[in-house]
């Protein structure tokens, strides 16, 4: 597929990135916590990926390459843009199940993601890549351009902070109740 | 393992990132310590909760939004080479610095080589001059080696020998026989400085210059 795009068949880019469209948008949203920002970061990621596809090393995972571009796009955006005053959140899309329960779960999800706001940018990146995106320590280190040791250190401190916040806000999650 | 040390490692063992050797020691501690075991369970529950809720709420694009985005993307022209990861600037600086370093080292090396060559060319030439035989000895009695027989002689210009003689005579007492003298003249090409060494039989020397 990559070869097709490189040979000039630009249409082949869409099926190449479609499997990662949710991952890209979700990670961008979890990082930025703002719907519009998330879309712009994702758009920037895909534009850069298409523009510089020739530099992609085929020995690497394509998903990790995309995630690396995304993290860099987020970092660049953070430098340019000051803290958002009132982040715009994604509204629940699912229409399955009891609306009240759905609303309650959506509320919990939002508050859980709010717990990430207390983390430093690096802790947030490490935690999201390792614990949500299931990247290994080595992959996370490559994506973030740091060392596995640094990833472990940030991961440990991020989990400590997160656990304390969850314990405080959602004690029932810690006790195993829903 | 102490509880304090165990607490440091619990966040990592909760996600399975602790190296096996440390994990084994921590597991032994956890078997005995209920407080640390509870702490580990809390970490696991917190992580599981975060994962479940976060994955449930995975975002997706509206169909139209995605199509528009793809149209915009493929309208772009792919670059032959470029900074997709935002790293090429740093790499560029690194390569530039490396090239400068190599050029600098090469310049130092060539300069050193050149200065060695110059110092050889403009350096002092050692001339060994034969002392005049003493009046008490005949020339044929002298055991001073002939100039041509001495392997380390570079050059012995004839016209310069008479100029060195007054200095030689001043250096050693006149009664020292010629066969016990050895005269060496160093002439600097660069400055024209001449240094005369006159050695006696014990190779003790005196230096005169002009």
A68-77: string of b/e by CB count within 10 Å (b at 16+)? Answer: bbbbbbbbeb
Would the CB atoms of B49 and A112 count as touching at under 8 Å?
Answer: yes
Q: Name the pTM for this structure.
A: 0.61
- Written as one string, the DSSP assignment of A47-104 is HHHHHTGGG--TTS-HHHHHHHHHHHHHHHHHHHSPPPSSPPPPPP----S-HHHHHH
Q: Is A38 an 8 Å CB contact of chain B?
A: yes
Strands B194-199 and B182-187 turn out to be: antiparallel
Contact A46 B69 (CB under 8 A): yes
User: Which string of DSSP letters, residue by residue, matches B98-143?
Assistant: HHHHHHHHHHHHHHHHHHHHHHHHSS-EEEEEPPPPPTTS-GGG--
pLDDT reported for residue A88: 57
* pLDDT tens digits, A111-167: 877 888 888 999 999 999 999 889 999 999 999 999 999 999 999 999 999 988 888
Question: 3-state SS string over B85-105?
Answer: CCCHHHHHHHHHHHHHHHHHH
Tell whether A22 lies on the interface with B, counting CB pairs under 8 A: yes
Q: What is the pLDDT of residue B87?
A: 53
Contacts of A60 (CB under 8 A, 6+ apart): A142
Cβ atoms within 10 Å, residue B202:
7
The answer to whether residue B162 neighbours chain A at the CB level (below 8 Å) is no
Collect all residues of chain A within an 8 Å Cβ-Cβ radius of residue B22: none
Greater model confidence, B141 or A82: A82
According to DSSP, residue A20 is labeled G
pLDDT in tens, A20-58: 988 999 999 888 888 888 899 999 999 999 888 888 888
Residue B170: CB atoms within 10 Å: 13
Strands B182-187 and B125-129 turn out to be antiparallel
- Closest CB from A42, A106, A174 relative to B46: A174
Q: Which of A14, A21, A159 sits opposite B11 (nearest CB)?
A: A159
Q: How many residues does chain B have?
A: 210
Does the beta carbon of A149 lie under 8 angstroms from any beta carbon of chain B?
A: no
Q: What is the pLDDT of residue B137?
A: 46
Provide mean pLDDT across the span B76-97. Answer: 68
What local confidence, expressed as pLDDT, does residue B168 receive? 46
Closest CA to A131 of A151, A107, A114, A109: A151
**How open is the CA angle B1-B4-B6, to the nearest 5 degrees?**
55
Tell me whether B63 touches chain A (CB under 8 Å): no
Q: ipTM of this predicted complex?
A: 0.79
| Mutation to test the A interface, candidates B26, B36, B45, B91, most A Cβ within 10 Å | B45
B84 and A55 in contact (C-beta within 8 Å)? Answer: yes
Q: Are A61 and A2 in contact (CB under 8 A)?
A: no
Q: Residues A132-146: pLDDT tens digits?
A: 889 999 999 999 999
Q: Does A173 touch chain B (CB under 8 A)?
A: yes
Contact B46 A175 (CB under 8 A): no
Pairs of residues, one from chain A and one from chain B, whose beta carbons lie less than 8 Å apart: 140
If you average pLDDT over every residue of chain A, what do you get? 84
* B203: pLDDT strictly greater than 50: yes
Residue B199 Ramachandran class (φ > 0 left, ψ -120 to 50 alpha, else beta): beta
The minimal CB distance from B81 to the residues A47, A54, A152 is found for A54
The 10s digit of each residue's pLDDT in B166-186 is: 544 445 566 777 777 788 888
């Amino acid at each position: 597929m990559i070869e097709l795009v490189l040979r000039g068949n630009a249409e082949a880019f869409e099926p190449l990135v479609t499997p990662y469209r949710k991952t890209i948008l979700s990670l961008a949203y979890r990082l930025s916590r703002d719907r519009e920002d998330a879309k712009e970061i994702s758009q920037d990621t895909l534009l850069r990926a298409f523009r510089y596809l020739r530099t992609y090393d085929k020995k690497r995972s394509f998903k990790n390459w995309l995630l690396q571009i995304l993290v860099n796009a987020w970092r660049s955006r953070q430098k340019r843009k000051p803290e958002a005053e009132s982040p715009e959140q994604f509204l629940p899309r699912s229409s399955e199940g009891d609306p009240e329960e759905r609303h309650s779960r959506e509320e919990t999800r939002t508050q859980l993601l709010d717990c990430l706001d207390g983390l430093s940018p690096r802790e947030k990146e490490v935690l999201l890549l390792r614990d949500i995106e299931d990247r290994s320590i080595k992959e996370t280190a490559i994506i973030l351009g740091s060392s596995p040791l640094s990833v472990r250190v940030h991961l440990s401190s991020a989990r400590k902070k997160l656990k304390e916040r969850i314990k405080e806000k959602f004690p029932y999650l810690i006790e195993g109740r829903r | 393992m102490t509880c304090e040390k165990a607490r440091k490692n619990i966040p990592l063992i909760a996600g399975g990132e602790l190296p096996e050797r440390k994990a084994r020691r921590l597991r032994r501690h956890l078997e005995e310590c209920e407080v640390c075991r509870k702490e580990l369970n809390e970490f696991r529950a917190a992580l599981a909760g975060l994962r479940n809720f976060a994955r449930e709420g995975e975002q997706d694009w509206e169909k139209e939004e995605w199509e528009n985005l793809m149209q915009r993307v493929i309208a772009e022209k792919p670059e032959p080479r470029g900074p997709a990861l935002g790293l090429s600037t740093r790499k560029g600086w690194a390569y530039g610095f490396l090239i400068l370093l190599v050029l600098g080292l090469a310049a130092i090396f060539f300069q050193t080589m050149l200065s060695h060559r110059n110092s050889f060319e403009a350096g002092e030439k050692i001339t060994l001059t034969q002392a005049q035989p003493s009046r008490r000895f005949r020339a044929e009695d002298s055991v001073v080696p002939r100039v041509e027989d001495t392997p380390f002689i570079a050059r012995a210009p004839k016209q310069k020998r008479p100029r060195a003689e007054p200095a030689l005579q001043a250096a050693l007492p006149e009664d020292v026989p010629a066969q016990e003298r050895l005269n060496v003249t160093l002439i600097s090409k660069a400055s024209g400085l001449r240094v005369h060494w006159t050695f006696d039989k014990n190779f003790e020397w005196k230096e005169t210059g002009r």
